[in-house]
Chain A
Amino acid sequence: MKYFHLVWAGLWRKKARTILTMLSIIVAFLLFGLLQGINQGFNDVVDNLDVNRLYISPKSAMDGLPISYQPRIKAISGVEHVSHWTYFGGFYREAKNAIPAFATDVPELFAIFKEIKIKPEYLDQMQRVRTGALVSDVLARQYGWKVGDRIPVGTSIWTDKQGSNTWFFDIVGTFDVSAYGMGFPSFYINYEYYDEAKAFGQGVVHFYLASIDDPLQGPRIAKEIDAQFENSMGETRTDTESGFAKRSLEQVGDINFIVNAIVGAVLFTLLFLTANTMMQSVRERIPELAVLKTLGFSDQKVLGLVLVESFILCTFAALIGLAIAALIFPSLKAILGDLPMPMTVVAMGAGLAIIVAIISGLPPAVRAQRLNIVDALAGR
């Protein structure tokens, strides 16, 4: 610690150069924080999903399972609640105002998704009003809907028995999905009403959801569900919620690879930049370092001084960059939901900063260590 002043003075010997190098490092670690944060964030969201939930989808295609499966799934030991989703996919007024509407078994659904907040009276009301709809508060705000409104929902898939493509629903309540990390469908209608009123395709749901009492039993229950329907017309494939989310995410492509490739390119450039800065700084200070050695500083000490300087330069700037990334992170809400920057990313960033510091600081430090006093003072 007693040499800190010396290191500090060396660091700021050329202010402009140090500041510019630091700015580059800050930018690099800002980018690292954002990209790796998003990547890690997705993984964390997926890993933290409820382990008590199972998603049961059709095995070979995406076109439905019979409604008669519901009691059969519920009868399997360990299963608590079973609900289902059927894509209704309407739009409000114009085709471009898409509404993610799903027909479902409402009481069972909200028993499975306990973290989604809804007033009990809304649930009661939904069971009384056949044409009822429950919407998320965000969607209600977006279109200015209030409880009690009767709204038209157009659909390109489902015709009702009168041959109309426009369905009317009564909004009976709203719910708050903010506690759920991922995208959650935000418009629900009663499956029974929808199934009776539509002109074709009765008795089919798109997929089932189930909650189980013991997460450790998850794999066993999943296997039992799939075995139950094996070799039937509608074979199933059961996943835990996180397994299901992982599969959906993989559809987009290998996010991990893209992030790592970019981060790799950035860090390689950075390594070159800092190494060059340190090299220059040592080259300019050769006479000074020689004086230090003349005064009795050992070779090791001089090596240490240069390494510490590189270490301070890198970690200080890297931490600023990561801090800025953490500040920006909440504004990425649209992609990730309400999520702070994962701490693992900060730790990884700090680790990388130290690695960059060592690799870029070592060659000039060794050069300083090997300095021959006489030659250096003579300027040879």
Chain B
Amino acid sequence: MKMLRQIGSVTSMNLRSLPQRLGTSLVIVIGIGGVVAVLVSVLAMSTGMLRTMENAGREDRAIVMRTGSQAEATSALPLDAARLIADAAGIRRDTDGRPIVSAESMRLLSMQRKEDGTEVNVTIRGVGPKLRVVRPELTIVKGRMFEPALSEIIVGEAASKEFKGLEIGQTIRARGANWKVVGIYTTGDAHESELMTDVEALNAADRRGGYQSVTVRLESPRAFKQFKDSLTANPTLSVDVWRERDYYAEQSKRMGQIITIVAYVVGGIMAIGAVFSALNTMYSAVSARVREIATLRALGFGATAMVASVLVEAVILALIGGVAGAGLAWVFFNGHTVSTTTGISHVVFDLAVSPELVTVGIVWSCVIGLLGGLFPAIRAARLPVATALRAV
């Protein structure tokens, strides 16, 4: 109890003298703020990307592709295979009693980003007539749905904001067809970076006879196994069946990992630098307080109280830095739209400074503060009282 009281009084005395050491104390705050800001902003990139990709998958949807294809782009399904898949067990049926499936093809169009004119590949996806029931999350926010067989397309809102020439009424000239934009849709996921049209129209333009993937609505999330088994049991089909959420998570895994590694390597190196500057600051804070510490010790205050006061000061400064850094990242980057490639096509997504990231940032700042405060604190405790007093 007595020790706690000592710690309390020494620490509060110390904190009240902080304004006198403002310049040096700011070094910790700014240093750690920088580390946390960089770490959180870069991680916000991978979080935003993963979130957008994962949203694209629902538990009660499955996607079927040719065996061995890791992505839709490298898959090919003949027409009869698509028919067989639609007949499989476990698929939810529409009010008219027909299976809710969408056989899809895709191709890449090169588009220019509005911001800097960079050319990137954007996916145009041919979808089946049941699109609205397969993807109930798709809503037309402007214009109307495309008419099949008319070379009309609808454009994701994110794509329309990010790329040139995708306003309603504009036409995209491409091989085999000129696509007229008739509507803008939202889905809140990676499909919003795409363009969609009728799959038969797209196949006709490409003079292609088959599909690339089939997406189905399942009766329930549990029906996945039944659906998968009924397809794999069919010897005439060679297909891979993915739960949609797993498929999209897999697609973004590599890019997400790269960004996360970059964040921790760069953040880690910066953190080492910040530990050194925190040490510097706390050492000079201790030397500025030599007289005070020695006096307190002579009066009978314990070594623990000295250690605690230094550590608390370091951690409080670090916390201020951490909160400021995370706050800066949030103010500048939360919701900021960026786009990158998944290796095949471009996805547009918003950076997401999630509460978990803010927590990570603040934990980092505390650790840096503790490391930076530890040695100076020990020094404060070990200060030989007699010599220190004589220095006065």
Contact residues of A between 45 and 75, Cβ < 8 Å to B? 58-63
Whether the Cβ atoms of B68 and A156 lie closer than 8 Å is yes
B65 contacts A by Cβ under 8 Å = yes
The reply to whether A253 and B76 contact each other, CB–CB distance below 8 Å, is no
Count chain A CB atoms within 10 A of each CB in B26, B31, B276, B346 and give the residue with the most: B276
Contact B109 A61 (CB under 8 A): yes
> Which of B108, B238, B280 is A277 in contact with, Cβ under 8 Å?
B280
Q: Which of B76, B107, B240 has the most CB of A within 10 A?
A: B76
A60 lies within 8 A of B175 (CB): yes
Chain B positions 117-146 with a Cβ under 8 Å from a chain A Cβ = 118-121
Contact residues in B for A279 (Cβ distance below 8 Å): 23
- The 9 nearest A-B residue pairs measured at CB: A156-B69, A27-B273, A20-B280, A95-B68, A251-B341, A23-B276, A156-B68, A24-B276, A269-B34
- In angstroms, how far is the closest chain B Cβ from the Cβ of A86? 13
Kindly identify which residue among B76, B176, B346 contacts A157, using a CB–CB cutoff of 8 Å: B76
> With A and B bound together, what is the CA distance between A157 and B78 in angstroms?
11
23 contacts between A and B (CB under 8 A): A17-B284, A21-B277, A21-B280, A24-B276, A27-B273, A59-B110, A60-B110, A89-B74, A91-B68, A95-B240, A156-B65, A156-B70, A156-B76, A165-B67, A251-B118, A251-B120, A252-B340, A253-B339, A265-B38, A269-B30, A269-B274, A272-B26, A280-B284
The interface centre, meaning the residue of B74, B176, B339, B346 with most chain A CB atoms within 10 A of its CB, is: B74
- How many whole Å from B252's CB to the nearest CB in chain A? 14
Minimum CB–CB distance from A285 to chain B (whole Å) comes to: 14
Which chain A residues lie closer than 8 Å to B266 at the CB level?
31, 35, 262
Excluding A16-B283, A269-B31, 9 further A-B contacts by CB distance (< 8 Å) are: A21-B280, A24-B274, A60-B110, A60-B175, A61-B107, A155-B68, A156-B75, A233-B176, A251-B346
Known contacts A35-B266, A98-B70; is-contact A251 B273 (Cβ 8 Å): no
Contact between chains at A247 and B69 (CB < 8 Å): no
Q: Quick check: A253 and B174 within 8 Å, CB to CB?
A: no
Is B173 on the interface with A (CB-CB < 8 A)? yes
| In the assembled complex, A28 has its CB within 8 A of some CB on chain B | yes
A37 CB, min distance to chain B CBs, angstroms: 13
B244-295 CB contacts (< 8 Å) to partner A: 266, 269-270, 272-274, 276-277, 279-280, 283-284
**Which residues on B are within 8 Å of A, measured CB to CB?**
23-24, 26-27, 30-31, 34, 37-38, 42, 65-70, 74-76, 107-110, 116, 118-121, 173-176, 206, 209, 238, 240, 266, 269-270, 272-274, 276-277, 279-280, 283-284, 338-341, 346
Q: Which of A31, A158, A159, A276 contacts B270 (CB 8 A)?
A: A31
Rounded to whole Å, the gap between the CB of A366 and the closest CB of chain B is 16
Chain A residues touching B, majority SS: helix
Least distance between A264 CB and chain B CB atoms (Å) = 10
Contact between chains at B108 and A233 (CB < 8 Å):
no
Interface residues on A, range: 35 or more
* Residues of A with C-beta under 8 A to B107: 61-63
Q: Are B120 and A273 in contact (CB under 8 A)?
A: no
B174 close to A156 (CB less than 8 A)? no
Contact B37 A265 (CB under 8 A): yes
For residue A12, CB closer than 8 A to chain B, the reply is no
- Residue numbers in A under 8 Å from B206 (CB-CB): 63
Set of chain B residues within 8 Å of A200, measured between Cβ atoms:
209
Instruction: Tell me the complex Cα distance, A270–B26, Å.
Output: 12
A235 and B174 CA atoms in complex are apart in Å by 10
A-chain residues with CB within 8 Å of residue B283 when the two chains form the complex: 16-17, 20
Contact partner of A60 (CB less than 8 A), chosen from B109, B240, B274, B277, is B109
Listed residue (B31, B269, B273, B339) with the most chain A CB atoms within 10 angstroms of its CB: B273
Shortest Cβ distance from B266 into A: residue? A262
CB distance from B244 to the nearest CB of A (A): 18
In the complex, what residue of chain B is closest to A254 when comparing beta carbons?
A: B116
Q: What CA separation (Å) do A130 and B266 show in the bound complex?
A: 50
A272-B276 CB under 8 A given contacts A61-B107, A91-B68, A250-B119: no
Docked complex: A138-166 residues within 8 A CB-CB of B: 154-159, 165
A247 CA / B273 CA spacing, docked (Å): 35
Assess whether A247 is in contact with B76, with CB atoms less than 8 Å apart: no
For window 1-57 of A, CB contacts with B under 8 Å fall at 16-17, 20-21, 23-24, 27-28, 30-31, 34-35
A252 proximity list for chain B (CB < 8 A):
340-341
Given contacts A251-B341, A269-B34, A276-B24, contact A156 B276 (CB under 8 A): no
CA of A91 to CA of B67 in the docked complex: distance in angstroms?
A: 11
CB distance from A374 to the nearest CB of B (A): 25
Residues from 264 to 284 in A contacting B, C-beta threshold 8 Å: 265-266, 268-270, 272-273, 276-277, 279-280
Decide yes or no: A24 and B76 within 8 Å by CB, A31-B270, A61-B107 being known contacts: no
Flag if A95 contacts B69 (CB, 8 Å).
Answer: yes
Of residues 71 to 101 in A, which have CB atoms within 8 Å of B's CB atoms? Answer: 89, 91, 95-96, 98
